[in-house]
């Protein structure tokens, strides 16, 4: 039996704008959200990797989720990043996100302590049981040091009704194919890599959780929309058009380049919290040049 899909299309893994004193800039958050929704973005992920969740206090984390959910006001789904390498913390943040009005949560695999597959099943399962909203698993082994095996995804989506999707940032299309083969319509697959949207869609994916959407929201939406409507050629053309920009957006660790790109567009996204730092000048100039070439700025 298939499960309800949270969204189809492009979700932005939105940055957390900061004031110069590195407090959260909620007024600029409004401008970023409106810009995205007005330009075709299908869902908003708040407090993910791109949102610098790892350097927000728990109070800030929950307040950002509450603010975004209230401001979006059901215009599009709001997905809250609530993962942690501590299961009790993931449960706490997920319950708070549900209370704050989030439509779903995004749970990254526990980082640093490198759980076994059994440990991952217990971690995700206990967190899913604690809430009533949908769960998206987030597999990004390059950041966490642990890979959620396709067989583990199968076990989780079959055992927990509200585990409905996975964000695939593995960079391994073979992993994606195995999940699609094992899970079928019990799990929705979203690309977590902007350079692999079309390959993931070709394996039955439902969309992308995107960084590129900050600077090209409508075209990121259209990469998915065109593909799902049968215009695979048009979808591929857009995917390939933006590959050089995607490379620039990941020329340094995310979200350093994308916060810089947003500033080039006139958004007051502000500084990054340490240990993240400002972008190297040469990389910033190359990013600006590519954005100019594409007519974004």
Q: Which residues are catalytic?
A: 138, 167
Q: Give the span between the Cα atoms of 205 and 235, in whole angstroms.
A: 14
Q: For residues 247-257, b (16+ Cβ closer than 10 Å) or e, as one string?
A: ebbbbbebbbb
Which CA distances in Å does 181 have to 66, 155, 186, 187, 225? 37, 13, 11, 11, 23
**Nearest by Cα to 168 from 148, 189, 147:** 189
State which H helix or E strand residue 265 sits in: none
Number of Cα atoms under 13 Å in the Cβ half of residue 11: 29
Omega cis (within 30) before 107: no
First to last CA, the chain: 46
State which H helix or E strand residue 124 sits in: helix 117-129
Query: What's the count of helices (H) and strands (E) in the chain, helices before strands?
Result: 13, 8
Number of Cα atoms under 13 Å in the Cβ half of residue 35: 17
122-128-134-138 Cα dihedral, nearest 10 degrees:
-30
């Amino acid at each position: 039996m298939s499960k309800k899909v949270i969204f189809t299309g492009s979700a932005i893994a939105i940055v957390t704008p900061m004031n110069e004193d590195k407090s959260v800039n909620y007024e600029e958050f409004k401008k970023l959200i409106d810009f995205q929704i007005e330009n075709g973005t299908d869902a908003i992920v708040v407090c993910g990797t791109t949102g610098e969740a790892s350097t927000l206090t728990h109070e800030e984390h929950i307040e950002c989720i509450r603010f975004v959910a209230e401001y979006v006001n059901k215009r599009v789904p709001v997905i809250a990043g609530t993962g942690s390498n501590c299961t009790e913390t993931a449960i706490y943040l997920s319950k708070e996100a549900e209370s704050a009005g989030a439509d779903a949560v995004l749970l990254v695999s526990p980082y640093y302590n490198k759980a076994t597959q059994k440990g991952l099943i217990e971690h995700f399962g206990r967190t899913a049981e604690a809430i009533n909203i949908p769960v998206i698993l987030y597999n990004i082994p390059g950041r966490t040091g642990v890979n959620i095996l396709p067989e583990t995804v199968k076990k989780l989506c079959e055992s927990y009704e509200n585990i409905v999707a996975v964000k695939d940032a593995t960079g391994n299309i073979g992993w994606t194919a195995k999940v699609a083969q094992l899970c079928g319509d019990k799990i929705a697959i979203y690309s977590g890599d902007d350079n692999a949207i079309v390959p993931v869609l070709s394996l039955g994916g439902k969309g992308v959780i995107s960084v590129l959407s900050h600077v090209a929201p409508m075209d990121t939406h259209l990469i998915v929309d065109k593909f799902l409507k049968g215009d695979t050629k048009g979808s591929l053309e857009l995917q390939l058009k933006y590959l050089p920009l995607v490379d620039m957006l990941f020329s340094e660790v995310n979200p350093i380049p994308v916060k810089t790109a947003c500033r080039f567009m006139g958004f007051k996204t502000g500084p990054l919290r340490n240990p993240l730092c400002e972008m190297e000048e040469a990389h910033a100039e190359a990013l600006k040049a590519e954005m100019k070439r594409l007519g974004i700025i």
